[in-house]
Chains A and B, each alone.
Chain A
Amino acid sequence: MINNSLKKIVQFKLKWLAKIYLAENKPYVIVISGTTGRIWLKDKIIEALKERSFSFGANKKNFNAEIGLPLSILGLPGAEKDFEKWIKILWKGLKSVIPSKKKKSPDYLILEMAIDHPDDMDYLLSIVRPNAVILNGITAIYRENFESLDEIAAEYGKLIKALPWNGLAILNTDDQRVKNLANNFAGKVISYGCEDGADFKAFDIQKIFDGQQFKIEVQKKEREIFTKKINRFGKHHIYAELVKEVIKDNFKEQQKEFFGKILDMSTD
């Protein structure tokens, strides 16, 4: 919450500090987007990475747009409209990109990206390019600034197009618009959802008194089925559990090193 001129200065400086930080540290960037359910996905991705003992950074709730996103990348707090605090934050940001002063950076960055205007995504992508994108669903939440849901889908399509050749698109194929975005990407796509054809599919969903119980079917060389019980209610938690399984399945210890090497090669 800062006034417009201060906001523009802060936004510009944060953007470039974040870009320098990313170029120097090359974390594996997982972007979570879609109009709803991002917070639950983020929590489950964190759980999965913790289980794999990876180091990670993640944005705080609602630090997901033009100011919040670079702050999240740099691991810095916000300061609302306090000019002095912003000076301190920018100084800290500067220190985080000076090689002799910087702290050890995490292997993974989990970033929520939120848009509420057409072309917002272009600006966010000018700060950070994803290595993996998770798209959960497209609903009418932010529709007031868009002509249609298809226009929102096109905005999310930019994220998929921004993936490198070795990137990963993790898509909720229960949402037809999200499913269609897979057509724009030649790289690896993993689908999740409750409908047939998803690589990670939830079925036999039962609401029980203290949560939900369901089966997860994973389409691999050998079909795998297991049962899961969670203490949360609502389909969005089932999607979050599916994404957790996708992350656990695709981000294994040895792959972390593998992705690191690939990243080094691609930026040389």
Chain B
Amino acid sequence: MFSRTQKINLSPIKQIEILASKIPDVVSLAQGIPSFDTPEVVKKAAIKALNKGSVAKYSLTMGLPELRESIEYALAQEGMYYDFEKEIIVTAGSIEGITASLIALIDQKKDEVIIFSPSYTSYAEAVKVAGGKPVFVNLLESEGWGIDFDSLERKINSRTAAILFCNPNNPTGTVYPKEDLLRIAILALKKKFFILSDEVYKDFIYSDPLQIASESANYKLFSLAQMPEYRNIVIRFFSLSKAYAMTGWRAGFLHSNEEIVKEILKVHDSLVTCAPVISQYAAMAALDFGGEEVKKFSKEFEERRNLICGRLDDLSEYLSYQKPNSSYFVFPKILGNKNSWEFALDLLEKAHVAVVPGVAFGPSGEGHFRVSFGRSKEDIDEAFRRIKAYFESQPKPILKIIPKKVKVHTLN
């Protein structure tokens, strides 16, 4: 009994949040929740659908056709062409879509899924839920958390079912360059595995003085889903949670080639029947009318990133970090190679600040922790005032590492 679930852990982010909830004046920079409320236009659309009596029944398993049409239209604006009738599924957030896809792909002959370390905590657990084995490939911190292709190629074998990554990456904020993604696609074609690309942070890519100089205004995320030659191996995921401040609505979607979607749909149907219908109406309004709000959120997150980086600079005696170019996370390294779980628990107990231990994101996350700048500026300021006091009360680290210059990836 429970042989599968006993290998699965509750997300450390949730564990930290549960512990944090017991401390009255805690400031949490742990969970990736935007501090904003869902845009008014989205809430109104949901209320309208509710009052019209449109939300009490199941939708089609794939989702409301008019929402899928809006999704197809939005994708086409970004150079991704998928048929709303056969190639798009509305999911209960992106993680449901990812899990359903893994269940569809993994079998007895191909059960290994490559995951970058560090990357989103729930990926490894989703692979285990699907009966697979997560195989970690460390990202190179010295290369701006870039991909170590030597290591990646060594880990690929006949049992590799898929590679699953988040681009931009959570927790490092890395945007993988086009040439790296194409290299992965070539490997996937050659070695016959699927690419699962989770792009939930694609709307939060920030300008960087160095990048602007080299890339001018053409600063957009490249996705393998834009390349028709890889339609048969790429499954792309998006969630409304982060971009539209809708984490509680559980609305997302996936898209891929018809034959792949047909198989995932069976799992999606057995897991959830359909995504919550009220959230589907909300998602439709978000995609159709929420574009300006996303831009506002992105601008605010960029300011918060600059604020948090400034506060981290003040702590250079204790921490080093890579300035993130996207998402709303930063992943500092604790100088002196501290155990990240011990650090996170100690910080929570003594400073009443919740952060996520780096090891939760994979083995190479050890010695780091993740902080979210999805929270308000006031929360960030207060948390860092406490973190500074915490470090100042600690013995000085024996080994001091000079912060490395950020590696800038080229985006196409």
Spell out A's residues near B (CB within 8 Å).
1, 36-37, 39, 61-62, 80, 116, 139, 141, 144-145, 209-211, 231-236
CA A62 to CA B228, docked complex, whole Å: 29
Contacts of A62 in B (CB 8 A): 288-289
Pick the contact of A210: B52, B82, B228, B288 (CB < 8 A): B228
CA A37 to CA B68, docked complex, whole Å: 11
Q: Which residue of A lies closest to B48 (CB)?
A: A1
Contacts of B231 in A (CB 8 A): 209
Give the interface segment out of B83-91, B106-114, B119-127, B210-218: B83-91
Contacts of B64 in A (CB 8 A): 141
The contact sample of 25 A-B pairs, CB cut-off 8 A, is A1-B44, A36-B66, A61-B73, A61-B288, A62-B288, A62-B289, A80-B40, A116-B52, A144-B54, A209-B232, A210-B228, A211-B81, A231-B81, A232-B83, A233-B81, A233-B83, A233-B86, A233-B87, A233-B258, A234-B83, A234-B84, A234-B85, A236-B83, A236-B84, A236-B85
Flag if B52 contacts A144 (CB, 8 Å): yes
CA A238 to CA B76, docked complex, whole Å: 16
Contacts of B150 in A (CB 8 A): none
CA A232 to CA B57, docked complex, whole Å: 32
Q: Which of B220-236 contact A (CB under 8 A)?
A: 228-229, 231-232
Q: Which of B52-68 contact A (CB under 8 A)?
A: 52-54, 57, 64-66
Pick the contact of A233: B41, B52, B82, B288 (CB < 8 A): B82
CA A64 to CA B397, docked complex, whole Å: 64
Minimum CB–CB distance from A239 to chain B (whole Å) comes to 12
Minimum CB–CB distance from A82 to chain B (whole Å) comes to 11
Minimum CB–CB distance from A213 to chain B (whole Å) comes to 13
Minimum CB–CB distance from A58 to chain B (whole Å) comes to 15
CA A145 to CA B84, docked complex, whole Å: 24
| List of 6 A-B pairs having minimum Cβ-Cβ separation, nearest first | A234-B83, A210-B228, A233-B83, A1-B44, A232-B81, A62-B288
Minimum CB–CB distance from B55 to chain A (whole Å) comes to 10
Q: Which residue of B lies closest to A80 (CB)?
A: B41
How many residues on the B side are at the interface (Cβ–Cβ under 8 A)? 28
**Residue B69 interfacial (CB < 8 Å):** yes
Contacts of A80 in B (CB 8 A): 40-41
Contacts of A39 in B (CB 8 A): 69, 73
Flag if B69 contacts A36 (CB, 8 Å): yes
Q: Beta-carbon contacts of B32-60 to A below 8 Å, as 1s and 0s?
A: 00000000110010000000111001000
Flag if B41 contacts A1 (CB, 8 Å): yes
Q: Which residue of B lies closest to A114 (CB)?
A: B66
Spell out B's residues near A (CB within 8 Å).
40-41, 44, 52-54, 57, 64-66, 69, 72-73, 76, 81-87, 228-229, 231-232, 258, 288-289
Flag if B65 contacts A210 (CB, 8 Å): no
- Contact status of A231 and B40, CB under 8 A, knowing A61-B73, A139-B65, A141-B66: no
CA A37 to CA B232, docked complex, whole Å: 25
CA A116 to CA B51, docked complex, whole Å: 14
Contacts of A233 in B (CB 8 A): 81-83, 86-87, 258
- With a 10 A CB-CB cut-off, give which of A139, A144, A211 has the most chain B CB atoms: A144
Q: Which residue of B lies closest to A139 (CB)?
A: B65
Contacts of B82 in A (CB 8 A): 233
CA A80 to CA B231, docked complex, whole Å: 39
Flag if B228 contacts A209 (CB, 8 Å): yes
Contacts of B76 in A (CB 8 A): 232
Q: Which residue of A lies closest to B83 (CB)?
A: A234
Minimum CB–CB distance from B72 to chain A (whole Å) comes to 8
Pick the contact of A144: B53, B73, B258 (CB < 8 A): B53
Contacts of B66 in A (CB 8 A): 36, 141
CA A21 to CA B399, docked complex, whole Å: 76
Minimum CB–CB distance from B47 to chain A (whole Å) comes to 10
Q: Which residue of A lies closest to B231 (CB)?
A: A209
- Contact status of A235 and B44, CB under 8 A, knowing A144-B54, A210-B228: no
Flag if A145 contacts B41 (CB, 8 Å): no
Pick the contact of B85: A1, A141, A144, A235 (CB < 8 A): A235
- With a 10 A CB-CB cut-off, give which of A139, A210, A234, A236 has the most chain B CB atoms: A234
Q: Which residue of A lies closest to B227 (CB)?
A: A210
Flag if B229 contacts A209 (CB, 8 Å): yes
Contacts of A116 in B (CB 8 A): 52
Contacts of A37 in B (CB 8 A): 69
CA A209 to CA B229, docked complex, whole Å: 6
Q: Which residue of A lies closest to B79 (CB)?
A: A231
